[in-house]
Each structure stands twice: as structure tokens, then as C-alpha cells.
Structure 1
Amino acid sequence: MNEYIQLMIDWVEEHLNKEFSLDELANYMGYSPYYCSFKFHQVTGISIRRYVLLRRLYLSTADLSSNQKVIEIAFEYGYSSQEAYSRAFKKVFGVTPREFQLNKLPVQSFVKLTVDQSEDGDSVYMSRKNEVEQLQNVKRELFDKDVLNVLNGQVMYEEFKAEKLMGDSDYVPFNEAMCVHATTPQVFDDEFIQTRALGHHVSVENYIRKVIYPFNTIFKEEYKYIVLWFGEDMFCQMNLLTILTYFEQSGYKGKVLLNSFREDEFKVSQTELQLGDYESVYKEVLINHRKPSIELLPVMYQAIDIFLDMLKENNEVVKYISKNKDLSTAELVNRLFDLFPTIGYGDSQYIELINKAK
């Protein structure tokens, strides 16, 4: 079945720059349109229509970055007008194509699906080293002692620190999963620590040791720059939102740079962030579970949409698990990793969902 679905994906990819119907795809595959649509959604967790929409919009960001005219891009990807393309683009990314073009904002990647793909850890590591070396050539000041790198997770932190990838600067990990469990308005205060420890089913002491203790550097030192290394998936972006909220609450006055990247290939997009509105977004999203009204980076805007969708009892992940209950937990987790990369969940979050659904 996976080979069959991969053939469908390959055919769709070859036709993204032209109009096509489900009937044409079905004729190519030799099955009915209904069967193709049903099986595609069953295996990938996304409809063909949605897949085509997201792939076309994501591919169009490369054309926007090369300063191609918006109207030309709209027609290239099958839109009847610039207005129709702009509406679709803003609905997904939270900004218009023109705003994206002018500001070169980071967005969540939506790459071609590959069923049963494997990841080469060595190549990802080399990609990280290469990206950091390129960054050093243009941002030499980020490798000095008055710079702090906040890295999402212990593994990335240990790699950066052991290899001194950012030179003489300091490193701290943020070992949290803010996309699950309750939180509180004031980041890192006693109520926050107790609430998060309870949600993770660990003692307050263990939570402090894992999450708070590494941040002693931030609490004690003043830095000219803070560089945030966070992936573009929802898991990382909710962690990022929490860290930015803490910076606002603590009155940090230095520069904040976001190095956003895709986990699988580590292509870094660097953006300077302006503090000021993140605390209100944090409260609106992570506490009140509502979509904020202010403009955000597209990558965070998309992540918030995913976060709010995942709060629904019958979200796409739960639907996929329910349709594939016959699979082992290990197989389901592997498939969920492959099919829902923009969520960014780890094993524990997916296993919890699987146990509930089964």
C-alpha cells in the first residue's frame, strides 16, 4: 500500500504547476477517484486537495523570495487571480505574499511526502556544521562571549556545546514540551513550576533540575545577543513562544535573533525578533486556547493553528490512529513521525494519544 501511495504522491508532485483533476490521478492509478482519495488520506493523514494546496503555497515562497511578480506566481500555481492566491496564502501563513516578499519571513516547510522514509543522522549533523560555518562568515559577532544560545532540547544543546559550534558563546537547553499540559501566566515562577511538573507527572525537584537549573545562566548574566535555535514545527514554536514571553517579563533589553530550521535538513533562516507582544500571545494561545489577533511570523502563526487543532478531541492525528488501530504502537509512532512532521511531537506525546485512542 505504501508503494501505491508513493506513486500517487510522485504523480501529484509532477503536476503541481498545472491544473489537474482527481479523475486524472485516478485514471493514472487505475482506481476510482473515491478509492484514491480515501487511501491517500488513510495513509498520509491529509487529503489530496489539502496536500496540493500546501505544497503549491510552500513552493511559491521560493518564487516570492526571488522577487518574481506576485501575479505571475499566482497564475503559475493555478490561481485564477492574484487576489485568490493572496487569500489562500494569508490563510495558511498569516501574511500576504507581498508582506512575505518584503520581509523574507520564515515559514513552516511543507516538503514532498515520502512514505516510510529513513533519516540519515550523519548527514543532518554535517548540515548543521555547514549552516553554522556559513553563519559565522556573515555574523561573526554571534560567536563572542556576550552571546547566549538557547537550544530547543538536550540533544541539540549537548551537540552544540561539545563541538563549540558557536565559538566562545554560552549555551543553554530548553527541555520542555509547552504544547502539552496546562501552564500559567508568569513563566518560571513557583506556580509555573508546580503546574508544569504536575502535568509531566514528575516531582517539582526533578522539574527544576531538568528545566529550570540550566537557565541559571539567563537568570544571572546579561547578554548583548540571545540566539534562539528552534525548529519550525509546532512543538518547537510553542517552546519558543514561552521563552520569548519570559524575556519580555524579565525586561531583557538586548537583541534577540531566531534561527528557525527544519529538523531533517537544518536549513537555517535567521530573523531578528522585536519583543513586545509575545506575552499577550502566550496567554491567548497557551492559556486561553484562542487564536491571537496580532500579526506574527508565519512560522509561529502556522504552529498556533496546529496547536489549536491538536486540542480538538477528533483531530487529524487521532483520526489517523483510530483508522490504524491494528498497527503496533511502535509502527504507529513511526508513521506519525513521517506523516505529521509539522507537529513535532516526540514518542511520549504520540504514545499518550495512541493509548487514549486504543
Structure 2
Amino acid sequence: MNDYIQSMIEWIEEHLSKTFLLDELAKYMGYSPYYCSFKFHQATGISIRRYVLLRKLYLSTEDLVIGQKVIDIAFEYGYSSQEAYSRAFKSVFGVSPGEFQINQGPVQSFAKLTLEHNRDVNRVSFIKEVEQLQNRNGELFDEDVLNIFNGQMMYDEFHSNKMMGNSDYVPFNEAMCVHPTSKQIFDDHFIRLRAEGHQNAVESYIQIVIKPLEPLFQNQYNYMVLWFGEDVFCQMNLLTLLAYLEQITYKGRVFLNSFRDDEFKVSQTELLLGNYQKIYEEVLLNQQKPTMELLPVMYQAIELHLSMLAEENSVKKYIKNHAHLSESELVHQLMAVFSTLGYGDLQYIEIIRQVRTT
């Protein structure tokens, strides 16, 4: 079946510059439109039309970056008008194509789907990318800089090899995309609430999450460099840290180094603090859409995060439709299919067991 779905993906990729017609794909595959649509969604967790929309819009951001006219891009990707393209673009990225062209920011990558999951990072490209960052902005490698990494693994790699020069390094070992949180970040109530959600003792949570962050709490830095991927897991952690920096009225400069797990290419953006505390409260406390404008990559992640709060979300549906798979097989499939969520095995195991015991 994977070969069958991959053939559909290859056909779609070859026809992205045209108006998508399900009947034409079905004719090529030799099956009914319903069967093609059903099997594609079953295997990938996304509808064919949604896949086509996201691929076209993601590819179009590359054309916007190089300054191509919006109307030319619209027709290049099969839209009937510039207005139709602009509406679709804003629905996904939260800004219009023109606004994106003026204030370019990171977006959540939507690469061509493959049904094999591989998050291994090429360490050579990894090192080259950091060297390029140093050539562009060497001040971020000095002693008055704190690098905060999403998780222990990336922290260990950077810290052990001193990849950011004389600067300091800390990991943020959390998963803010799951379980309740509190308005004040990193206070006693926050710690108790998060520990309870993760079913950890408070002492254990402090050792895992709080203690590694001590340089953030104790030292003064002129620069914060936040290393976070594009997925929901990383972006909710990023939102929490930005809200915390606002809570402590941090006055230094803040840079986001956004990257994909499967392709270590960094997009560096300087962030201005001011609205993240409010967004944090709206999204992670009140589970509402943000009322403030924000980076496209965070806008996309929040949309996905809120969709996961639905009782019948896409992950739960996928689990129910693959009841024949073992827990370990299903975790592997979920990590491949829902890569934009960025959940780890612990998050998926929790959801699987919840679904299978109800």
C-alpha cells in the first residue's frame, strides 16, 4: 500500500503547477476518486486537497522571498486570481503574501511526503550551518549570550563540542504542547502543575526541567538565542520561553534559530518582545486562537495545536483506523505521518493508550 500512496504523491508533485483535479489522479491510478481520497488520508493523516494546498503555498514562499510578483506566483500555481491565492496564503500562514514579502519570517516547512520516517541529521551540514551563522553574526558566540535548546539531545551536541564558542548553553526539557500550565512561568505553582501533568514527582521535575535552566534564572545576558524547530512541540516550548522573558522584563536582544529536524538549515530571525505573554495565555491557558499577529511558523503551529484539543482529532482517528498495529509500530507510523506535530514517543503512547482504553 505504501508504494501505491507514494505513486499518488509523485503524480501530485508533478502537477502542482496546475489546478488539482481528483478525477485526473484517480484515472491515472486506475481507481475511483473516493478510493484514492480515502486511502491517501488513511495513510498520511491529511486529505489530498489539504496536501496540495500546503505544498503549493509552501513552495510559493520561496518565490516570494526572491521577489517574484504575487500575481505571477498566483497563476504559476494554478490559482484563478491573485485574490484567491492571497486568501489561501493568509488562511495557512496568518499573513498575506505581500506582508510576508515585506517582513519575511520562518514558516513551517511542508516538504514532499515520503512514507519513510527519518530524523537523522547530517552532522557535516549541521557544522557548516553553524559556521555560516558565526560568519554572519559573530557577536552571538560571545560570553554574554545564552543559547536555549529544545531538548537535551541538541544541547548535549552543542555544549560538548562548544559549537557556539564562549557562550552559555541550556536545554529546555519540556513538552508544553500537552498538560495544563499556569500564568506565571517557572514559579512553584507552574512546577507542581507541570509535574502532575507529566506524572512526575516535583523533585524529579525540578532536576529534569528547572535545574538545567539555572543560568537563565541567575545570570544577566545581552543576547538570547533560542534554537527551536518548526513543529508544534517546539513552537509551544518557544512560546513559553518568550512569555517568560516578557515576565522578567528581559531587555536584551532575542534571536530565533528555527530549523527542521530532517534538514539542519537554520533560519535566523530577531524577535521583538511585547505580545508573547498574552499569546501564551490565550493559547496555552485558555485554548483560544491568538488575537495578535505573530510569526507564520508559530501561527501554523498554534493552529495545529488547537486542532489537537478536539475530541476526535486527526491523530486519534488515525489510531482508530490502524487498530491492527502494535503500540510500537503505531508510534513509528505516527511520528512519520504527523511530523509537523513533532510529538515524541511518550506523547503518542499516552494518546494511543487513551484511545484504546475508551
Fold match (TM-score > 0.5): yes
For 1:249 and 1:39, the matched residues in 2 are separated by 47
TM-score normalised over the length of structure 1? 0.98
- Equivalent of residue 141 in structure 1, options 139, 145, 148: 139
> For residue 131 of structure 1, what is the aligned residue in structure 2?
129
Which position in structure 2 is the counterpart of 1:110?
Answer: 110
Query: Which aligned pairs between 1:190-201 and structure 2 lie closer than 5 A?
Result: 190-201=188-199
Aligned partner of 2:27 in structure 1 is 27
Q: Distance in 2 between matches of 1:200 and 1:80?
A: 49
Tell me, which stretches of 5 or more residues in structure 2 are unaligned?
none
Q: Distance in 1 between matches of 2:82 and 2:187?
A: 48
Q: Deviations over 1:101-131 (max 9, x none)?
A: 111111000110001244444x2x2222111
Q: Which residue of 2 aligns with 1:203?
A: 201
1:290 maps to what in 2? 288
* Alignment partner, residue 345 of structure 1: 343
Q: CA deviation at 1:21?
A: 1.1
Secondary structure of the 1:230 match is strand
CA distance in 2 between counterparts of 1:334 and 1:127 reads 26
CA contact 2:229–2:259 (8 Å) conserved in 1: yes
Normalising by structure 2, what TM-score? 0.98
**Conserved 8 A contact 2:20-2:52:** no
The SS at the match of 1:171 is strand
Q: 1:333 aligns with which of 317, 321, 331?
A: 331
CA contact (8 A) 2:117 2:335 kept: no
Aligned to 2:91: 91
TM superposition shift of 1:313 = 1.0
Extract unaligned runs of 5+ from structure 1.
none
Code of the residue aligned with 1:248 in structure 2: it is E
Structure 2 CA distance for partners of 1:292 and 1:327, relative to 1, 3 Å = same
Corresponding residue of 1:168: 166
Moved over 2 A (4+): 116-121
Find the counterpart in structure 1 of residue 63 from structure 2: 63
Paired with 1:185 and 1:231, the residues of 2 have a C-alpha distance of 24
Following superposition, the deviation at residue 225 of structure 1 comes to 0.6
The one-letter amino acid of 1:152's match is N
Taking the aligned partners of 1:273 and 1:253, their CA distance within structure 2 comes to 12
Distance 2:341 2:78 in 1: 28
SS at match of 1:258: strand
> Is 1:46 matched with 2:46?
yes
- Tell me how far apart the structure 2 counterparts of residues 228 and 5 of structure 1 sit (CA, whole Å): 37
Q: Is the 8 A contact 2:257 2:268 kept in 1?
A: yes
Task: Note if contact 1:178-1:239 (Cα within 8 Å) is conserved in structure 2.
Answer: yes
Asked if structure 2 preserves the Cα contact closer than 8 Å seen for 1:55 and 1:112, the reply is yes
Percent identical among aligned pairs is: 67
Counterpart of 2:36? Answer: 36
Deviation string 1:68-123 (CA, Å, 9 cap, x unpaired) is 000000111111111111111011000110111111111000110001244444x2
In the other structure, the counterpart of 1:2 is 2
How far the C-alpha of 1:290 sits from its partner, in A, is 0.2
Matches within 5 A, 1:238-253: 238-253=236-251
- Give, in whole Å, the separation in 2 of the partners of 1:86 and 1:62: 15
Contact 1:2 1:116 in 2 (8 A): no
Contact 2:119 2:261 in 1 (8 A): no
The one-letter code sitting in structure 1 at the alignment partner of 2:69 is: K
Q: Which residues in structure 2 correspond to 1:133-282 (within 5 Å)?
A: 133-282=131-280
* Secondary structure of residue in 2 paired with 1:267: strand
| Count of residues in correspondence between the two structures | 356
C-alpha distance in structure 1 between counterparts of 2:124 and 2:154, whole Å: 13
Shift of 1:19: 2.0
d(CA) in 1 for partners of 2:343 and 2:109? 16
CA distance in structure 1 between the partners assigned to 2:317 and 2:11 by the alignment: 26
Q: Distance in 2 between matches of 1:328 and 1:30?
A: 31
* 8 Å CA contact retained: 1:245, 1:282: yes
Distance 1:243 1:116 in 2: 32
Give 1:16's aligned residue.
16
| In 1, Cα distance between equivalents of 2:128 and 2:352 | 37
